[in-house]
Each structure stands twice: as C-alpha cells, then as structure tokens.
Amino acid sequence: MLDGIELPSHPNLLVGLESLDDAGVFRLTDEIALVQTVDFFTPIVDDPYTFGQIAAANALSDVYAMGGTPLTAMNLVCFPSKAMDFSILKEILRGGLDKINEAEVTLVGGHSIDDPELKYGLSVTGTVHPNKILGNAGARPGDQLVLTKPIGTGLVNTALKGNMASAEAVDAAVAQMTTLNREAAELLMEFDVHACTDVTGFGLLGHACEMLLSGEVGIEIDHTAVPIIAGAIEYASQGLIPGGTYRNRDHGASRVEIASGLPDWVESVLFDPQTSGGLIIALPSADAKSLLQKLRDAGIEKASIIGRATSDRKGKVVVR
Amino acid sequence: MALTVDARTLSCPQPVVLTNKAVEESDQVITIVDNEVAKENVTRFARSKGFDVTVEEKSGEFHIHLTRGEAAEQTCCEPLATTGDEPPVLLIASDSIGRGSDELGQKLMTAFVQILSEVNPQPKTIIFMNSGVKLVCEGSQVIEDLRALAEQEIELLACGTCLGYYDIKEKLAVGQVSNMFDIATAMMGASKVIAP
C-alpha cells in the first residue's frame, strides 16, 4: 500500500514502517525511547461496554509486544450521532476507560467524528529502553515458541454475527479478547527473549511469518499444540470463516506450508484473524518451560509451547 | 423443488446463515454469491452438512448447487440418527490388550489387528491413542494389515498429541494425524465404540 511513498528515516527512528513491527519506536535519550501505536475498529460484540474493553485491550497490546510500558492513551471515536443514542457511546467509553485504568495508563484526551459506521479504539504512547526492544525478527534456531492466548476469535465472532455461536464459545472469546497482555509481558522480561509479537489481524500464521524476516530461521508449528477457543474448529468446518482468513492465507501462501494429511480446519483456524490476541514469544528452549510454568501459575492457563525456530527451511513456516 | 438463496452483496456470514435456513426446508438449494470468500464458505458449510456440491460460475457470480446426500443430517440441530446397524468405531488406546504381561498383551494386539480384516462387521474408523499410536508407525508389526484396512476405506486416526509425546510423528506409516476434536466427534457420533 505504501509503494511509491518514500519511507521516513531518522537516526533516532529505531523501529519504523519497514520492519512490520507492532509499534513505532523513537529514541529520546540513551535510556528512553518513545513507543507509539494506534488501533481502532468496528464493533465485534453486541454489548457496548465489552466492545470498549476489547478495543482498548487490543490497542494497548502492541506496546506490550514491543517490550514497552504504555503510559498514556487517547480515544478515537467514529459515531453515527443521528442514528444511535449517545448512551451507547458512553458505555463504550466507560468500557475503554476501565481497561485503560486496569493497565494503569492515563487517558489524556481523544477525538470524535460523526460517521455512519461506529468505530472505537485508542492511540497509545509508552516507553521502552532502546536496548531492550522486543522486535519480531530476532528468533534463533533452537528457540521454542510460546503462545499466551488461544486463537479462534475471528471464527467465533463470525459465528456470532450469524447467530450460530454458542454462549460458551462467545464467553471464552470475550474473556480472551478483554485480557491485557500486560502480565505476560511483565513475566517474559525475566527471560532472555529473542523475539516477540502479538497475534492480531494476520492470524497466527501471518504473524509467525513476520518472525521470519531476519532470514536466519524457519519456523515449525505443531498444530496439535496450538490452544484453540472452544467451538472455533466446528465453525471453521461449517464455513463460518471471516473474509480476512482468505486474505491472510493468500498473503502467506509463498511462505507457509501446511503438511499434507492434516485436517481441513487447520488452515482456517491458524490463519483466523485475531482481535486482541496473545503474544508469540521466541526464547531458548531451556527457558521456555520455565516461562510457561510462570504464565500458567499466574492464571494464564492456555499458554502453550506451540513450535520452534529451526535452522532448516529458513524463511518458511511449516505446520505439522 | 430447489430453493434459491440470493446472497449477492451480503457480507459474511450471511450467505452461510441463509443457506443454513434453506437446507432445513429443502433437499435442494441453489445459493448465489458474488465473491470467492462466500463461495468457499458456503461450499464448506454444505459439505459439512453432507450435501453434494457443484459450483457454476456465471459472469463473476457463483451458483452453488446443493443436493442432500444419502447419509446427510436432516437438520442442522438434530444429532445424526443411529440405527445400531452402523459399523462400530474401534478404539485402540494401547499397544497391548489386557493386563498381566506386556509381552503377551502386545502379541494379543498384533493378532487382533491381523485378524480384523476377516471379521464382520468391519469398523468404519479405528482410533489410535496413547501407546496405540506405535501400531501405525515405523517398526510396527501390523503396518501392512492396517494398510489393507485403509484400502477398504476404513479411516485410521492417530492422536497427534500421542505421536508427539512418543516423538514418532515423523514415523507415521499409515493413517492420518488427528486431534481430540475429531477423535471425540468420531466416538460420540458412533453407534458403538469397541475397545479391545
């Protein structure tokens, strides 16, 4: 999309547009770099308060995924004021603010415009130590990959839109989408993490592809080890698949190989676009088990080791 | 008489939702969509409900013809009716039969698998779990016997987690890697599950 536009460069721009990372990072001093990110979208659940919570958790996630600490946030609102009652907007903002407060981030303002289609999200600013930025692409052969949240929110949301989702599936998806990645981010700081990214719109496999950018590793994922939200597999088999999945699949086609003989749903679930997904963390295998134990002890029950970085098949994500 | 569902311009998952309603009322449905995503989703949905599907492309639109197959579910909400005459599902949850001596148990399991092709009824699916997965991997004494069963369209499902646990995933010689969802579905939907 940015073809033909000259990408900016600056000696203090540590992470910019070219690296497909989760947020932008700009050095201020030797110890402090600014982390900046923005994210907003249309409603995915019916309840306005919950929508606000999900959108806020989603926007904050990018800062955690860079190894940063979010500090301030601003609301972004598009609202059809003539068609919808303001009480709905108030509930959305209340949901967003409660999540912002939970993260101990300060809301400093926002901007709203009138729009026939409702959208909400945040712009978030935080800080990170310039030497401790967690990029997407630093995984080393032999690293194991830990995933902190189950996937399948795109499928559950699509089934929900068609009134074909079970209450259990929706509750499970909402619980995951409203959970901040804050705790997971704090726990991983204790380890020598080589790469980290959060799983959002490109799906597990799309974001795994981002981890290939250094050209130094291949990635292998064990489909039986990937935690999946209850119901998602069934919805994939029933064709309740969001359009984004097909875009993700087409985009990743040259780099992703799914082993033959795997069930049909593997492609649909592993390319399922996520909202406010978990973190994929690449770290030495000796530490992966300790990190997993710490995550589970902290109540992050679905955290799992889903695969590894390898030295063969560099530049490919292979799913077994 | 075929029911027609015009799902052009509708965003997902409406094409699937409307098709779902239509198949409750008719054994033949034609769903018309105007994009690839909807075509794939409706096709998957139809197959999951046991319908035969053919797709006709007409000037950028897709006409998806659904015909209820012989063994299809009647509605999306009723469980598949089981008559008791259906072939059983065989659950092999260990590489040996019985307790007492593992050596004897393994010999018994080998003999059981070898004799399966001569016994009626044949299972429709054989599930391998825990140490049972060793039977479908290199080094197993019964690979050829299992291959013969697979050629008769008997489904062989090997639990992926179990293969991973024994670290023999790459040694799978017959059957396919499966997962708890498909295994549980096969067991719960069976009229009979037999575990030797």
Q: What percent of chain B has pLDDT over 70?
A: 92
Report phi then psi at A79, rounded to 5.
-140, 135
Q: Is this prediction's pTM over 0.80?
A: no
**What is the rounded CA–CA span in Å between residue A188 and residue A179?**
16
Per-residue confidence (pLDDT) for residue B180, from 0 to 100: 84
ipTM value, please give it: 0.78
Contact (CB<8Å) A163/B181: no
Per-residue confidence (pLDDT) for residue B119, from 0 to 100: 85
List strands edge to edge, sheet with B176-178. B176-178, B155-159, B125-128, B89-92, B193-194
> pLDDT tens, B61-108?
999 999 998 755 444 444 444 455 678 999 999 999 998 898 999 999
Per-residue confidence (pLDDT) for residue A3, from 0 to 100: 74
Per-residue confidence (pLDDT) for residue B73, from 0 to 100: 47
Q: How far is A298 from chain B (nearest CA, A)?
A: 25
Confidence of residue B153 (pLDDT cuts 50, 70, 90): confident
Check whether B116 has a pLDDT greater than 80.
yes
Per-residue confidence (pLDDT) for residue A19, from 0 to 100: 59
Per-residue confidence (pLDDT) for residue B2, from 0 to 100: 84
Q: How far is B172 from chain A (nearest CA, A)?
A: 11
**What is the rounded CA–CA span in Å between residue B55 and residue A277?**
35
Confidence of residue B131 (pLDDT cuts 50, 70, 90): very high
Give the nearest partner residue to B16 out of A223, A238, A264, using CB atoms: A238
Q: How far is A23 from chain B (nearest CA, A)?
A: 30
Per-residue confidence (pLDDT) for residue A17, from 0 to 100: 74
Confidence of residue B185 (pLDDT cuts 50, 70, 90): confident
Per residue of chain A (320 residues), what is the pLDDT tens digit?
667 778 788 889 888 876 555 688 999 999 999 999 999 999 989 999 999 999 999 999 999 999 999 999 999 999 999 999 999 999 999 999 999 999 999 999 999 999 999 999 999 999 999 999 998 889 999 999 999 999 999 999 999 999 999 999 999 999 999 999 999 999 999 999 999 999 999 999 999 999 998 889 999 999 999 999 989 999 999 999 999 999 999 999 999 999 988 998 999 999 999 999 999 999 999 999 999 999 999 999 999 999 999 998 999 999 99
Q: How crowded is residue A34: how many other Cβ atoms within 10 Å of its Cβ? A: 18
Contact A243/B at CB under 8 A: yes
CA angle A203, A206, A210 (to 5 degrees): 135
Cα–chain center distance at B81: 16
Residues A7 and A49: beta-carbon distance below 8 Å = no
- Mean per-residue pLDDT over chain B, rounded: 87
Residues on chain B touching A262 (C-beta within 8 angstroms): 176-177
Among A163, A224, A320, which would you mutate to test the B interface (most chain B Cβ atoms within 10 Å of its Cβ)?
A224
**What is the rounded CA–CA span in Å between residue A291 and residue A236?**
31
Per-residue confidence (pLDDT) for residue A22, from 0 to 100: 64
Per-residue confidence (pLDDT) for residue B78, from 0 to 100: 44
Contact A250/B at CB under 8 A: no
Give the nearest partner residue to B13 out of A158, A222, A233, using CB atoms: A158
**What is the rounded CA–CA span in Å between residue A315 and residue A298?**
34
